[in-house]
Every structure is written in structure tokens, then in C-alpha cells.
Structure 1
Amino acid sequence: MESLATAVQDINDVYWYFVITILCIAGVWFTISTKAVQIRWIPEMLAGLKESPSDISDGQKGVSAFRAFTISAASRVGSANVAGVAIAITVGGPGAVFWMWVLAILGSATSFVESSLAQLYKVRRKDSYVGGPAYYIRDALGWKPVAIAFAVIITVTYGFVFNAVQSNSIAQSLGNQFSLEGTWPMFIIGAVVAILAGVIIFGGIHRLSAVTEIMVPIMAFAYVLVALFVVVINIGEVPGVLGLIIGHALGFKEVVGAGLGAAFMQGIRRGLFSNEAGMGSVPNAAATASVSHPVKQGLVQSLGVYFDTLLVCSATAFIILLSNPEYGGDPEGISLTQNALSNQVGHWAIGFLTIVIFFLAFSSILGNSYYGESNIRFLKDSDMAVNVFRVLVCLAVVGGAIGSIQVVWNLADLFMGFMATINLIALIPLAKIAIKLMRNYAEQKRQGLDPVFRREDIPEAKNVSAWDGSDPLTVRS
């Protein structure tokens, strides 16, 4: 296991310089070309959460904007926010947190572009819409082999690799809580999680979204509330922590074992794994929503980046940094966050965080599974294929629980890089369509209208199968 982890890490250390380059170029370009839509339209992001869906078929409501948001948040808000931030800080030092913040602000513009395009190129099924990068790569660009490659990679990445990461975090947190060691206890934990996940994912998108709609907000709110309490009782030390984060990120302060390069690399990697902006995963959730204009879901998913990184990841960072951890050593995951919170508020925090990470990581398994399922249907629209995929997801959950923490996280980095590369290369030529969608939306807002989109509004957007006026939400009054 150790040799595999080292081999994958060596590949990541080279390949990720390229990934970071195109991530930053795309984020800066989309921020400039949209005139910083991710900052200008924050009120519109909040308003977009409230839109109710229309009926997608007789007696079957579509997926609401808020439910689509919670599906993406279920995938985003998970072990990366608790265990991933801990790994970033122990390996890269406090400066890694600063680069997470930077990536979130730039990535929010990228998320706007990819999610708006996913809405535009979504495809209607009997009980819901489906879509994502594979669809806009095939239909907008005509790159069918590339679309197939992306669909395969995201299915493997989210269905198997990322779900192994989430399962590993659940097993690690329970092991730390109850002093469990050895393969068998971890196997049992993985098997129980797999059974629970199977009950939900075999119920389809509506059962899955009904669970995430409740689970994600409650757990995230409880976690952030406790983190705020930690900040309040240590309020005198907060300026020093902020100074440490910024100083180390910019090279003004050196931390033993964790230099500027390590902070930058870990911040970008863990930030992308957490908020997923530009990776091509969130558009799969964005496409499910029944809304009156594609930009509405683009804005909602931009808000999701802030919710994930600026709120939940920052909560973890302050819990850890206020406990003065060691930097530059071996990666530490959920156990570091548990122990740091325990030092601040008492031993009960380990149990509390075990519950939080269980539900957050479990909801991520559900969201991740939907991303894979959506792309299985792109490859072969067969219920049998989807059910086989669901079984394999459950097996991956069991395998992740007994796997090495370094192996599963290093593999996650590698596959995440592959996805981001394909998606960003596709987004750059398609950005002009997203900008025209944004202008169409803005013009209707200036006229005092609730924006509604029809595909004839942007005739240069070819092969759009939805937005023909059949959805009641898109009927102009």
C-alpha cells in the first residue's frame, strides 16, 4: 500500500502543476469575462434558492432549485471539509487555508459557467432532467469521444474513488471514537454504511434528494455553530491566526516543514476536492433542477462554492489552528480535527464530530453516487446498467473503509485532476454561450421581469433539446 501511495503521489506532484495552471487561468478569465458575477450577484444567488419546480410529468414534480443545491452540497460538504482541511494544514501549513479561499472566489465564477451550461444542455427524462459536462461536450462541441471519456472518468471517480474516501473518513472517525483497530471492525463499518447507502440510492433521484434536503443543512449548521463557539471563546487569538494564514501563504512567515509551495499545492488540491468548482461534477446536479432560466441554477451553484469553502472549510481551519497543531509532517485526517475540537470544548466533541462526519460523509456518498449514475445513463440508458453501478458503489464503500488513508486520498487527487482537465478544456470555448445567457438574464431583470429562457433566445447554441417552451416554468406571461 505504501509503495502505491508513493507512486501515485509522485505522479500528482508533477501533473498537478498543469491542473493548477488551467484552473487559475479559467477562474481568472471567467471572473473577468462575467465582470465578477460571483460577487456582483450574491443577492440573486440567494433568491434563486426559492423557486418552486413545475410538474415534469403527470403527478411528478421536477427537482427544485433548493434540492439541486443540496444534491451538490451533499457531494461537496463531506470529509474534505473536515478531514481534507486537516490534511492540507498538517502537510501544507496554515497558508493552505488562504489558497483554499482564493480558489473558492475564482472557482465560483467557473461554477457559474459550468452549471449554467449544464442547465442549457440538460435532457428531459420521465421523472427528472439529467445533464452535465458529458452532455455539453457532446451536444455543444460535438466531441463525442471526449464526452464518453469524461463520463467514464467521473463514474469511476465519484462512484468508486471518492466514495472510498468518504467511507474511509467514516471508519477513521468511528475508530478514533471507540478505539477500534484492525481490518474486521473497519470492514463491518463499511458494510453497514454500504447497506444504508444502498437503501437510498436504489430509490432514485427523488428519494436521494429528499434525504439530502434535510441531512445536509442540519449537519452543516450544527458543525458551523460549534466552530463559531470555538472562535468566540478564543476571540483574542483570532487576529494571530489570520496573520498566520496570510503570512504563511504569502511567504512572510515560514513554518517548519511546510514551505510556501506546499501551502499553495495543498490549498488548491484540497480546495478543489472540497468545492469541486471546475471539476465537472456539480453540473450533473445543476442539470436536475426545474427552473425558468439556466442562469438561476448557475448562480445557485456559485453560492454552493462559498457555502462549502468560505463557511464549512473555514470552520474546520479555525478549530484546528486555534489548537496549535504541528505542520509539515505526515498527513492527519479526521482524528486531528476531532482532537482539536476536544481540546477546545471537551471530550464530548469527539462523539459530536463523529456524528457530524458520519452524516456529512454519508450524504456525500449519496451525491457522488448520483453523479456516477447520471453518467452511466449517458453511456447506456439502461436500468440494468444503473443497478449494476449501484451494487459496485456499495462494494467501493466497503473497500474504502479498510483502505489506507494515503492511498485513497492520493487516488482521489489523481482522478480529480483528470476530470478537471477535460472539463476546463471544454468550458473555455463554451464560455461565450454562458456569457450570452448571463446577458439575457440581466436584460430581463432590468425590465423588471422574472427571467424566462427559450432556446430561440440564443440561436447559436446548437443541439439544445430542452427549453422548447413545454416546461410550464418557461411560458412567458
Structure 2
Amino acid sequence: MLLDLLTKIDDVMYYPILIIVMGVAGLYFTLRTRFVQIRLFREACRLVMEKPEDKAHVSSFQALMVSTASRVGTGNIVGVSTAICIGGPGAMFWMWIMCIIGAASAFVESTLAQIYKQKEDDGSCYGGPAYYIEKALHAPWLSVLFCIFLISTYAFGFNLLCSYNLQSSFAAYSFYDPKLTPIIVGVIIAALVGFCILSGGKRIIKLTEVLVPFMGIAYVVVAIIVILVNITNVPAMFAVIFKNAFDFKSIFGGVAGSCLIYGIKRGLYSNEAGVGSAPNASASANVTHPVKQGLVQTVSVYIDTILLCTATGLMCLSSGVAPSAEVSGILYVQKAISTVFGHFGPAFITVAMILFAFTTLLGNLYYVDNALIYLNGKKNPSARFMVIFRLCCVAVIFFGAIISMDTAWAAADITMGLMTIINLPCCALLYGVVNKTLKDYEKQKKEGKNPVFVGSHVGLKEDEISFWK
């Protein structure tokens, strides 16, 4: 009963509502910025390594790593596999399209987060959609609603799914017991996350922060090896992707389950462009101009989708393992990698899933803390409340390991969709400010300057901003 209800809501939300909102917004931002996500890509890559004037403050690179840590996770592996197995190989093409136009949405939302960020007494900064909705659109009620949806997404929807994805990676092993193993995995991952968020666990967190980038690189290398071993299958693989992507008779015969919708759903879940999550991290960066961080965030979208999601998709499709609903999820990836690496392949994927899931679960709760602070009158909630809330989050992680795949995906899709439905229209309404800010940046670059932003130069009033005066 619950699954049927969630599935119906999920289907309607993505078709026709979100496919229109995301498509129109992404194309609008792409055209109005004159393809800024492509045109200034080299500049974006250069800015990633730019250091802040005060080394004590958060750099562009650090803010990028926070948002990328949340983006890069189990969705890069399981989400892509699910899209291909259920939606068809053409889902890869639509994932790429949504990545390119979504990068423009990521640029706009992160630039807005920088423009309307707030200043702490020590000179550090914070912000996100809740703040630019309140300050620029003067709609604090909508900011509150956005924060509620953000908490629903990152404390509940995404954590349910992340926990499910992790336990499913053990299904390839002979010791896996469908009744017992999910419970054991759920208890272990919930206890580990609970220890880190309630008692510190700083050594564990630091260790995973070091290991995850290396695991991400190793994962791409392994995927490339599988593709190269199966190089003779590559031409046929791309033919299948494009043929399926443009099989409009099949798509419009069943839109909700088509490669188009699955490509959009899993692409959005993976790179989160336009969802309104990454701007919370972007606002913390100490840069001289808002456009700098907007451009840096486009790089994060490309890392997630063009690099990691593509690595998963091409590795699976080139392996010769046939995609089907029966192997949907992590099993498809494990079967694909084992064609080259044997028993080592599934073990490697399991280790990657553990690391990706752990950092994703912790990264998700970083965004939640920002939303809770906003709802509490922009003050830190009491220590007692935070302990109770985090215990609830730990319980969610446990339950995620024992629910069904369809329930986990539907819950995550719906909560994420609600955030996007609020954030993207607000970004479109505020695009005029972004446009002036981008022109200001490009004008200063042409003059050979290191762009420095002053709010009044683009018509912003003193009471609208707290940082760029």
C-alpha cells in the first residue's frame, strides 16, 4: 500500500512536473549565460585551486570537496546500474544531457548562495537557498518549507537509500541471507555513523576523507580497464545507447519507466544540480567574487556525472553482461566487473560502496545541520535536541538497510523532487541578479583584474546583503 502510494507520487512528480521544471530552467540558464558551464570551463578549473586571502577561511577547493563528497556516493554506482537495467541503456545519454544543462543550474544556485551569504563574527560565512529566498524574494515562509524538505531529503530519504544500497552490495556473496544480513549491516553502519556524529570519531572521519578520493580514482581506473579489455564491444555499446535514447515510440509508450525519466531521475540524484544542496557548501567559500564559486560548482557536477557515472555505465554496458530487472542495482555492476577481475571485482565494489556510503551519510547530515540552524532562528539548536535528532537519523539508517529497493528509491526521489520544485523556480526569478554579477565578473576579467565584487555595483541594496558591502 505504502509503496504503491509512493510510486504514484514519484511518477507524477517527475513526469510531467520535474521534467518540465528542470528542463526549462536548465535550458533557460544555459542560453541566458551563453553556455557559461562550457564557455568558462577552463576558468572554472583554474579557480578550483585558487586560495583565499585568509588561509583560516574555507577555500573554493574545500567547499567543492564538501559538495562533491555528498554528490559522489552510492548513486554513482547503484543509481546508474538501476537506470540502465530498468530504463534501458539510453538512460546514459539523458544523464549526460541533464549533466550539461544541469551544470548551468548549479552555477546559478551557487552564485546566488555567494551573493546572499551571511557573515559570522569571525569573518567566516554561511548561506544557501533558505537565505537567498528570504533576503531576495522576501518569502521566509518558503525558506522554512525548503528547509523542511531539505531535512526530509538528507536526514531521511537519502539516508534510507544509501543504507539500502550499501547492504545490497553483499547480495553477491554466498553468505548473504536476505533475512539476516541486511539487519547485521544496518546495525553496523548505524552504530558507526552514530559513534561519529555523537561521540566525535574524528580519526575515522579523517581516514575516510583521505581514502575516498583515492577510491574514486581507483574506481575510474578499474572501469577503464574493464572497458579496454572489452574494447571490441564499445562501438556496439554506443550504438545501443543512442538507439535506445531516441526510441521515442518506446519512451512515450511508457514515459514513467522510460530511459528518459530514469536518466533524469538518477542523474539528478547523483549530481544534485538544481536541488539546492550544494549552495549550502558553496556559501562557506571565501572568494573575491560570487561567480568564482558558481563556476567551481560546475566542475563538481562534471566530476560526478561525466567521470564517475559514465565510468559505471560504460563499464557495465561494455562487459557483455545483459542488463535486466533481475540484476538491477549493485549486482549488475558486480557481475560486469567480475568478467575481468574475477572474485576480486565484487570485493572491490563492496569496499568502494562502504567508503562512499559512509562519507555520503556524514555529508548529508552536514546539510541538515545548516537547515536546523535556520529553523531555530539562525541559532544552534540545544545539545539535547541535537542528540535526539541524531539518534533518529541513526534509526533511519538502520531501517534503510531492511526496506525494499523500490521503497528506498521512491522515498529519496520524492523528497529530492520537493526541494528542486522550490529551488529552481526561485533561481529563475533571481536570475537577473546572477546575470548582472556574471557580466561584472567578465568585465573585470577583460580589464585584466582579479575580479572583486561590490553589491551596489549591480544594484543590490545594503539591507539585502551582509557580505559584499
Q: What's the TM-score, normalizing by structure 1?
A: 0.90
Residue type at the aligned position of 2:13: Y
Aligned to 1:35: 34
Corresponding residue SS for 2:58: coil
Matches within 5 A, 1:193-342: 193-202=189-198, 213-251=209-247, 262-327=258-323, 329=325, 332-342=328-338
2:227 touches 2:234 (CA, 8 Å); kept in 1? yes
Deviation at 1:421, TM superposition (A): 0.4
- Answer yes or no: is 1:465 the counterpart of 2:460: no
Deviation at 1:99, TM superposition (A): 0.3
- Answer yes or no: is 1:89 the counterpart of 2:78: no
Corresponding residue SS for 2:448: coil
Q: Of 63, 73, 84, which aligns to 1:68?
A: 63
When residues 439 and 203 of structure 1 are mapped into structure 2, their CA distance, relative to the original with a 3 A threshold, is farther
Range with greater deviation from structure 2 (93-102 or 380-389): 380-389
Aligned to 2:152: 156
Range with greater deviation from structure 2 (231-240 or 246-255): 246-255
Q: Of 151, 175, 181, which aligns to 1:179?
A: 175
When residues 455 and 442 of structure 1 are mapped into structure 2, their CA distance, relative to the original with a 3 A threshold, is same
Deviation at 1:252, TM superposition (A): 8.0
Deviation at 1:141, TM superposition (A): 0.4
- Answer yes or no: is 1:108 the counterpart of 2:109: no
Residue type at the aligned position of 1:308: D
1:99 touches 1:268 (CA, 8 Å); kept in 2? yes
1:92 touches 1:266 (CA, 8 Å); kept in 2? yes
Q: Identity over the aligned pairs, expressed in percent?
A: 40
When residues 301 and 332 of structure 1 are mapped into structure 2, their CA distance, relative to the original with a 3 A threshold, is same
Distance 1:254 1:225 in 2: 34
Distance 2:248 2:371 in 1: 45
Aligned length: 460
Distance 2:142 2:238 in 1: 43
Matches within 5 A, 1:376-395: 376-380=372-376, 381-384=379-382, 385-395=385-395
Range with greater deviation from structure 2 (195-204 or 166-175): 195-204
Aligned to 1:7: 5
Corresponding residue SS for 1:176: coil
Residue type at the aligned position of 2:77: V
Distance 2:170 2:257 in 1: 33
Deviation at 1:210, TM superposition (A): 5.7
Range with greater deviation from structure 2 (133-142 or 185-194): 185-194
2:25 touches 2:425 (CA, 8 Å); kept in 1? no
Deviation string for 1:84-120 (max 9, x for gaps)? 1111011110001100000000000000000110111
Residue type at the aligned position of 1:22: V
1:133 touches 1:284 (CA, 8 Å); kept in 2? yes
Deviation at 1:272, TM superposition (A): 0.5
1:244 touches 1:253 (CA, 8 Å); kept in 2? no
1:157 touches 1:415 (CA, 8 Å); kept in 2? yes
Unaligned runs of 5+ residues in structure 2 are none
Range with greater deviation from structure 2 (319-328 or 416-425): 319-328
- Answer yes or no: is 1:138 the counterpart of 2:134: yes
Deviation at 1:182, TM superposition (A): 4.0
Corresponding residue SS for 1:393: helix
Residue type at the aligned position of 2:25: A
Q: What's the TM-score, normalizing by structure 2?
A: 0.92
Deviation at 1:318, TM superposition (A): 1.1
Distance 1:443 1:207 in 2: 46
Q: Of 318, 343, 346, which aligns to 2:342?
A: 346
When residues 387 and 139 of structure 1 are mapped into structure 2, their CA distance, relative to the original with a 3 A threshold, is farther
Deviation at 1:199, TM superposition (A): 4.3
Distance 1:446 1:387 in 2: 52
Range with greater deviation from structure 2 (70-79 or 211-220): 211-220
1:249 touches 1:260 (CA, 8 Å); kept in 2? no
Distance 1:151 1:87 in 2: 29
Residue type at the aligned position of 1:413: D
- Answer yes or no: is 1:21 the counterpart of 2:20: yes
Residue type at the aligned position of 2:465: V
Distance 2:17 2:458 in 1: 34
